[in-house]
Amino acid sequence: MALIVQKYGGTSVGSLERIANVAEKVIAARAAGHDLIVVVSAMTGETDRLLGLAKGIDPQPNPRELDVLLSTGEQATIALLSMALEKRGCPARSYTGAQVRILTDSAFNKARIVDIDAQRLRADLACGRVLVVAGFQGVDDAGNITTLGRGGSDTTAVALAAALKADECQIYTDVDGVYTTDPRVVPDARRLDRITYEEMLEMASLGAKVLQIRSVEFASKYNVPLRVLSSFAEGQGTLISSEEDVMEQALISGIAFNRDEAKLTVLGVPDQPGVAYRILGPIADANIEVDMIVQNVAEDSTTDFTFTVHRDDYDKALRILRETANELGAREVTGDNKIVKISLVGVGMRSHAGIASTMFQTLAAEGINIRMISTSEIKISVVVDEKYLELGVRALHAAFHLDSKK
Ligand code: ADP
Ligand code: ASP
Ligand code: MG
């Protein structure tokens, strides 16, 4: 008998019919002899609705109270699913994050799981119940309700699977696996049977929102076999596991993109030690995360410095940069918040030259100007104008033979 943690996302529990469908799936898995912990998200659109209400009161709502509000979405779903299971004769019990005691730090709206007290869950499992746990939420050691950031139910599921040493963590969603790129943008995208933790981590951190990054970090750290599957169709989905388990490695496993980017440039700064620190220090102090950074080779004794931030932080970053530029005697500050990042990901890149040149050639052939480039061992990212996102992703998908009709 295996212990399986299943997670159902917002669309999968988006109506009473769909909750009934989930109940049937859970009962079928139980009938196959498995112990089950089921993590659920808020019904589709609910977290956004609650966020809208909060912002109607204050554009920057009190973070503690925001978490109290947002956590109610998942609380509604656990009760509804447990009722649906009980009505079908399947013993079930719902738990909020705080009731399980999913202990987190106190970073409201983006808390990290620190510890899980699995005792109560184990006792309930031993009584033959299905446990239905609210995703996306926890409690800090002062007893405050916290949430784990958008998409956080994935992380709840994987963390529970790790804590209870589950045999598999299954993420049920509205696509039937992890694809070579977002199938909504490239209809010819191909489902991957397997992908390594490392590649999935890159895909997620570069914008593929099918799994929250932290869930993949957890899975990799505790070696939890993770599978992404459809709630609506049968199939094997995509297994995410360690490199040794993935026998045949593709050169490129996928293309990720991120629409939430903005870039800022300061031109003509004196090229001296400490300049990068003077520019980025105040940005970091304002809690703004910086992604790509490029500094030009100095001509005369000045240099240009460009970096990217999340689009939501653009205005704030621009204000800070203008002040710093004044202090440094820089020539000019420019910015652009209509840019996107497209990334190629693949462990096969380690051993193959020429991937970057194929990428640049493909974009050039489409007349797409590359604004920034950054590389690491298993990825290459480029920043391009927002209007080229779809064109760029589709062209690269075809150029690297990722299309399903090949
Ligand atoms: P859930 O509500 O179930 O958590 P999400 O919307 O968070 O679902 O994640 C599923 C979505 O992720 C898909 O509908 C798809 O549009 C998107 N997505 C982005 N990149 C990929 C990819 N490489 N493979 C599969 N889905 C992807
Ligand atoms: N309900 C939360 C969100 O919409 C968490 C999740 O669905 O994973 O982001
Ligand atoms: Mg999600």
82 CA distance to ligand 1 middle (Å): 25
Q: Could you tell me if residue 228 is inside a domain?
A: no
**What is the per-residue pLDDT for 272?**
86
Is residue 282 domain-shared with residue 134, that is, in the same domain?
no
pLDDT at 244 over 70: no
| Per-residue model confidence as pLDDT tens digits over 307-335 | 999 999 999 999 999 999 999 999 999 99
pLDDT at 406 over 50: no
* pTM (predicted TM-score): 0.92
Cβ count within 10 A of residue 165: 10
Q: Could you tell me if residue 130 is inside a domain?
A: yes
Contact predicate 383/370, CB 8 Å: yes
- Out of 116, 141, 174, pick the residue that ends a domain: 174
Is residue 170 domain-shared with residue 259, that is, in the same domain?
no
CB-based neighbours (< 5 A) of ligand 3, an ion = 9, 151
| Per-residue model confidence as pLDDT tens digits over 251-306 | 888 999 999 999 999 999 988 888 899 999 999 999 899 999 998 877 788 999 99
Q: Is 345 left (phi over 0), alpha (psi -120 to 50) or beta?
A: beta
Is residue 170 domain-shared with residue 264, that is, in the same domain?
no
Is residue 126 domain-shared with residue 263, that is, in the same domain?
no
Is residue 25 domain-shared with residue 168, that is, in the same domain?
yes
- The CA-atom distances, in angstroms, between 118 and each of 137, 169, 193, 196, 332 are 15, 16, 31, 28, 56
Give the structural domain span for 21: 3-174
pLDDT at 136 over 50: yes
Q: Which ligand lies nearest the alpha carbon of 254?
A: 1
How far apart CA 354 and CA 376 sit, in angstroms, is 14
Residues with CB under 6 A from ligand 2: 9-10, 41-42, 47, 73, 135-136, 150-154
**What is the per-residue pLDDT for 248?**
60
Q: Which ligand lies nearest the alpha carbon of 39?
A: 2
Is residue 160 domain-shared with residue 296, that is, in the same domain?
no
For residue 154, give the ligand 2 atom closest to its CA: 8
Query: Does the C-beta of 208 come closer than 6 Å to ligand 1?
Result: yes
298 CA distance to ligand 2 middle (Å): 46
Is residue 11 domain-shared with residue 150, that is, in the same domain?
yes
Is residue 8 domain-shared with residue 146, that is, in the same domain?
yes
Nearest to 375 by CA among 352, 400, 351, 349: 349
pLDDT at 19 over 80: yes
| Per-residue model confidence as pLDDT tens digits over 164-186 | 999 999 999 999 999 999 999 99
Q: Could you tell me if residue 200 is inside a domain?
A: no
Q: Could you tell me if residue 317 is inside a domain?
A: yes
How far apart CA 276 and CA 293 sit, in angstroms, is 10
Query: By percentage, how much of the chain surpasses pLDDT 70?
Result: 98
172 CA distance to ligand 1 middle (Å): 10
- Out of 174, 202, 217, pick the residue that ends a domain: 174
Q: Could you tell me if residue 36 is inside a domain?
A: yes
- Out of 174, 201, 231, pick the residue that ends a domain: 174
Average pLDDT over residues 365-380: 94
pLDDT at 375 over 80: yes
Q: Could you tell me if residue 300 is inside a domain?
A: yes
**Residues contacting residue 197 through CB under 8 Å, at least 6 positions apart:** 216, 219, 220, 240, 241, 242, 243
Residue in this structure with the two tokens 């926890």, named with its chain if needed:
138
pLDDT at 247 over 60: no
Average pLDDT over residues 95-106: 97
Q: Which ligand lies nearest the alpha carbon of 11?
A: 1
Task: With cut-offs at 50, 70 and 90, classify the pLDDT of residue 354.
Answer: confident
pLDDT at 33 over 70: yes
pLDDT at 249 over 90: no
Q: Could you tell me if residue 210 is inside a domain?
A: no
How far apart CA 36 and CA 125 sit, in angstroms, is 8
Better pLDDT: 243 or 214: 214
**What is the per-residue pLDDT for 243?**
72
Is residue 24 domain-shared with residue 117, that is, in the same domain?
yes
Is residue 275 domain-shared with residue 146, that is, in the same domain?
no
Cβ count within 10 A of residue 354: 10
Count of the separate structural domains present in the chain: 2
**What is the per-residue pLDDT for 75?**
98
Average pLDDT over residues 9-31: 97
Is residue 142 domain-shared with residue 275, that is, in the same domain?
no
| Per-residue model confidence as pLDDT tens digits over 149-164 | 999 999 999 999 999 9
Average pLDDT over residues 47-62: 97
Query: By percentage, how much of the chain surpasses pLDDT 90?
Result: 87
Q: Which of 15, 43, 173 to mutate to test the pocket of ligand 1 (most atoms within 8 A of CB)?
A: 173
**What is the per-residue pLDDT for 300?**
80
Name the phi and psi angles at 93, rounded to 5.
-150, 140
Is residue 119 domain-shared with residue 23, that is, in the same domain?
yes
Q: Could you tell me if residue 242 is inside a domain?
A: no
156 CA distance to ligand 3 middle (Å): 11
CATH number, domain containing residue 38: 3.40.1160.10
CATH number, domain containing residue 300: 3.30.2130.10
Q: Is 121 left (phi over 0), alpha (psi -120 to 50) or beta?
A: alpha
